[in-house]
A and B are shown apart, each in its own frame.
Chain A
Amino acid sequence: MSPEIDTRPQVETQTLEVNLGPQHPSTHGVFRMVATLDGETVIRLKPVMGYMHRNHEKIAEGLTYIGCFPYTDRLDYFCAMTNNLALAVAIERLAGIQVSERGEYIRVIMAELTRLVNHTAVTGFLLNDMGAFGTPLLYAFREREKILDLFEAASGSRMMCNYVRPGGVREDLPAGWVERAWEIVRAYPKFLDEFETLLTKNDIILQRTQQVGKLPQPLAVSAGITGPMLRASGVNYDIRKVDGYSVYPRVQFKVPLGTVGDVYDRYLIRILEMRESLKILEQALQALPTTSPSISPKGAAMGKAPRTFRPPKGHAYGRIEAPKGELGFFLVSDGSPQPYRYRIRPPSFINLTVLEDMCLGQKVADVIVILGSIDIVLCEVDR
């Protein structure tokens, strides 16, 4: 756990309270940290959230189940596809909808592409937080744009995809899409190699990240941390493996685990996860069934007339391994077209809860890097 800090003043010194945020270049949005500093060392850190609260959960209670999908795009705007997927999984659990085979594969392809998008961008942002003049970030964005083009070709929008639907996806892939996806999947390892040459063994980055912001395994587990952050601490917990939803049990992939749980581990776990995602993508693109339509009949009807979709009374929790961690939707249905209760388990928010524990005793500069390594999106934190 956090090192014992001797805050008793040896010499008469004063602590300094600094407001990092909500308007600050690297708080990833409108996040605010009230940091108490002793010199450059952080002795207290209070996260303040809610500047981006948009009342999504309450608004959803007045919408149809389908009407909630565009709002999920705006949760974690890097990963619209996986957000849609999580809600779709929850609705499928609630109403007992079967997903078509092709639909499942398309979803997995989209989810893994989203993981690539998210992890590259986050690595770039992490480096920006360390003070690089945007070069790694722009390299990451260069590659991300190519995947976003794919998203646009399939769903019509680069970021606010609104593509996955209960029972499948909204419309089938356009012609030539799979070939373009193959091109990207084949070219991506080269980019990752170059990216790693630039970053992984760079002495400055090693100094800035190793042994910084350590998250011990017991704390990670008891705080409910999920995703790459948990795995960087060495806990083998990946919902793709644990739940085995969709077609993940049918593809071969490994779960990279860290040993120390510092910022460096979190960075490298993401790189390794991207390499595993590429393996999944190769297998899924290979196995993509060419025949059946993407949407099951019931799902299609639902898309055409959302108000006729009335799930039976009851409740369901659907979760997936989003790039940031476990993203879950808890839905309570009273038999009406609108959800009675709609609750999101946002990975960013829950991963953010250990921020103070990781930052105590570190320098101010480390706080920013640690925050960057948690990988938060404020729209998801505040909802």
Chain B
Amino acid sequence: MSSLDQLFVEVTRSLVSRLPPWLAPWASMLATIGAIAAAAPVIMMYLTWLERKLIARMQNRLGPNRVGLYGLLQPIADGVKMFIKEDIVPRGADRLLHLLAPIVAVAPVILLFAVLPFGRNMVGADLHVGLLYFLALGSITSYAIFMGGWASRSKFSMLGAMRTVAQIISYEVPGVLSVVAVIMVTGTLSLVGIVEAQADHWFLFTPWGFVAGAIFFMSGIAEVNRTPFDMPEAESELVGGFHTEYSGMKFALWYMAEFLEAFAICAFTTTLFLGGWQGPPIPFWILAALLALLVGTAKSLALPARGLGVLALVALGGLYARQPIPSWIWFFAKTYVLVFVLVWLRGTFPRLRIDQLMGFAWKFLLPMALVTILAAGLWSLMPFPYGTVLAVLILAASYAVLVRWNRPASLSPRTYVLAD
């Protein structure tokens, strides 16, 4: 336990210890709340920046680069713009609900971060039912979106809102079922407990964990309405979906809810399947040595570059052996890798159609999640090689069957005549 790892914990503790004892618990709570409430908008703003930058690079573009160095002040400029924009409420809209909806959308998402273990001993509230809390709060968004869509009194908003409700309810089911496997194996609903259970093996590297993680992540993407499941705000069809009629700060709140929820999904996937704040199960110096070997033998690089790369990696390995990388860095690194995957998906794919989306949830993800539970049970009950092999076999077989079952006959290769 090094000091860097516990930096934030120590800082809070030292601040709180100066206060009178009756104030200390309140102050510690306030500090946590304050940290989360302050961090959330910053995370959201820089997620927009990050997304724009990354997608721009995928499209041979530069992305925002005008405001500040590398466009780093762009989110602030956007925020100011949002603040000074006129707030338009359509005639005939339900003004109260129209105002309330974005607030209802944002609040639970910020609350989600209370149970997230950001690092060793770094958790707002280690609830015994943390996972349940996450699932419960996560589904409030559908109310907010439907409120917004209905209150706008616009057909596009209404269609978008209806799609959302259908979609979120559908994807909730496989999402929750995929988590059941984790609960079964760890025997706890506390997120801290789940992370600690992954100390020697991340669940991603177990057969059931890989599939369950993929299902959880995909349902998560669908719940936060991102490509390829961004039906509710399908821009090309429904203009803006449920937030068509929103402008100014209310619109910014919608965006904040969406981005924070996307971040939360990544964070929870990290926590549940990627070992949370735990470092990789293999010692880091082995990784560094392997990478150094790869770089050192790469023929296509110039010799100085190879030498420098090897030196840097060896130094990193040595450094890590002396001072382990703080747990919160691991957590954020893994989360941002998942954020990159989210952005990457958005940069690559068109969206599915609403009926295909529902079919995917009910006909593919749901049975797959059920199979995952079986596989997880086998994996944890049977001795090592048998359980794993059986789990892999069951999962592969059911994947093959489900794909065959779901694949429409139409998706066949075509032949084209080249006439004269």
Give chain B residues whose Cβ lies under 8 Å from the Cβ of A135.
55, 58-59, 347-348
Q: Beta-carbon contacts of B389-401 to A below 8 Å, as 1s and 0s?
A: 0000000000000
Once the chains are docked, how many angstroms separate the CA of A208 from the CA of B414?
15
Point out the residue from B59, B159, B356 that lies within 8 Å of A18, measured CB to CB: B159
Query: Do the beta carbons of A131 and B348 come within 8 Å of each other?
Result: no
Query: Do the beta carbons of B416 and A268 come within 8 Å of each other?
Result: yes
Point out the residue from B159, B352, B419 that lies within 8 Å of A208, measured CB to CB: B352
Query: Do the beta carbons of B235 and A25 come within 8 Å of each other?
Result: yes
**Are A134 and B59 CB-contacts (below 8 A) given A208-B350, A259-B414?**
yes
- Measured CB to CB, the closest approach of chain B to A198, in angstroms, equals 7
- Judged by a CB distance under 8 angstroms, whether B353 is at the interface is yes
- Measured CB to CB, the closest approach of chain A to B260, in angstroms, equals 20
| A residues 193-211 touching B (CB-CB < 8 Å) | 198, 202-208, 210-211
- Judged by a CB distance under 8 angstroms, whether A243 is at the interface is no
Give chain A residues whose Cβ lies under 8 Å from the Cβ of B346.
133
**Are A207 and B352 CB-contacts (below 8 A) given A18-B159, A26-B236, A259-B415?**
yes
Once the chains are docked, how many angstroms separate the CA of A366 from the CA of B348?
20
- Judged by a CB distance under 8 angstroms, whether A258 is at the interface is yes
* 9-residue interface stretch from B189-197, B203-211, B226-234, B373-381: B226-234
Count A/B pairs, Cβ under 8 Å.
128
Query: Do the beta carbons of A365 and B354 come within 8 Å of each other?
Result: yes
Query: Do the beta carbons of B59 and A40 come within 8 Å of each other?
Result: no
Once the chains are docked, how many angstroms separate the CA of A276 from the CA of B416?
13
* 9-residue interface stretch from A113-121, A122-130, A164-172, A343-351: A122-130
Q: How many B residues face the partner with a CB closer than 8 A?
A: 39
- Measured CB to CB, the closest approach of chain B to A103, in angstroms, equals 26
Query: Do the beta carbons of B417 and A256 come within 8 Å of each other?
Result: yes
Once the chains are docked, how many angstroms separate the CA of A18 from the CA of B237?
11
Give chain A residues whose Cβ lies under 8 Å from the Cβ of B230.
131
Give chain A residues whose Cβ lies under 8 Å from the Cβ of B416.
256-259, 268-269, 272
Once the chains are docked, how many angstroms separate the CA of A258 from the CA of B415?
8
Give chain A residues whose Cβ lies under 8 Å from the Cβ of B235.
25-26, 131
Give chain A residues whose Cβ lies under 8 Å from the Cβ of B420.
241, 254-255
Q: Nearest CB to that of A132 among chain B residues? A: B350
Once the chains are docked, how many angstroms separate the CA of A236 from the CA of B348?
34
Query: Do the beta carbons of A210 and B227 come within 8 Å of each other?
Result: no
| B residues 273-287 touching A (CB-CB < 8 Å) | none
- Measured CB to CB, the closest approach of chain B to A25, in angstroms, equals 5
Query: Do the beta carbons of B354 and A131 come within 8 Å of each other?
Result: no
- Measured CB to CB, the closest approach of chain B to A45, in angstroms, equals 14
Query: Do the beta carbons of B348 and A363 come within 8 Å of each other?
Result: no
Give chain B residues whose Cβ lies under 8 Å from the Cβ of A281.
none
Q: Beta-carbon contacts of B213-257 to A below 8 Å, as 1s and 0s?
A: 000000000000001101000111111000000000000000000
- Judged by a CB distance under 8 angstroms, whether A313 is at the interface is no
Q: Nearest CB to that of B233 among chain A residues? A: A131
Once the chains are docked, how many angstroms separate the CA of A204 from the CA of B348?
11
Q: Beta-carbon contacts of B55-75 to A below 8 Å, as 1s and 0s?
A: 100111100000000000000
Q: Beta-carbon contacts of B322-339 to A below 8 Å, as 1s and 0s?
A: 000000000000000000
Give chain A residues whose Cβ lies under 8 Å from the Cβ of B355.
40, 363
Query: Do the beta carbons of B414 and A130 come within 8 Å of each other?
Result: no
- Judged by a CB distance under 8 angstroms, whether A364 is at the interface is yes
Query: Do the beta carbons of A18 and B155 come within 8 Å of each other?
Result: yes
Q: Would you list the 9 A-B pairs with minimal beta carbon distance, nearest first? A: A131-B351, A130-B350, A254-B418, A26-B236, A138-B59, A132-B350, A257-B417, A211-B410, A236-B419
- A residues contacting B by CB (< 8 A) are 16-20, 24-26, 37, 40, 127-135, 138-139, 142, 198, 202-208, 210-211, 234, 236, 241, 254-260, 264-265, 268-269, 272, 276, 363-368
10 contacts between A and B (CB under 8 A): A19-B155, A40-B159, A128-B236, A131-B350, A131-B351, A203-B411, A204-B228, A207-B356, A268-B416, A269-B416
- B residues contacting A by CB (< 8 A) are 55, 58-61, 155-156, 159, 163, 227-228, 230, 234-239, 346-356, 408, 410-411, 414-420
Q: A25-B236, A25-B239 are in contact. List 14 more A-B contacts (CB 8 A).
A: A16-B155, A128-B236, A132-B348, A132-B349, A134-B59, A138-B60, A210-B411, A254-B418, A256-B419, A268-B414, A269-B416, A363-B353, A363-B354, A365-B353
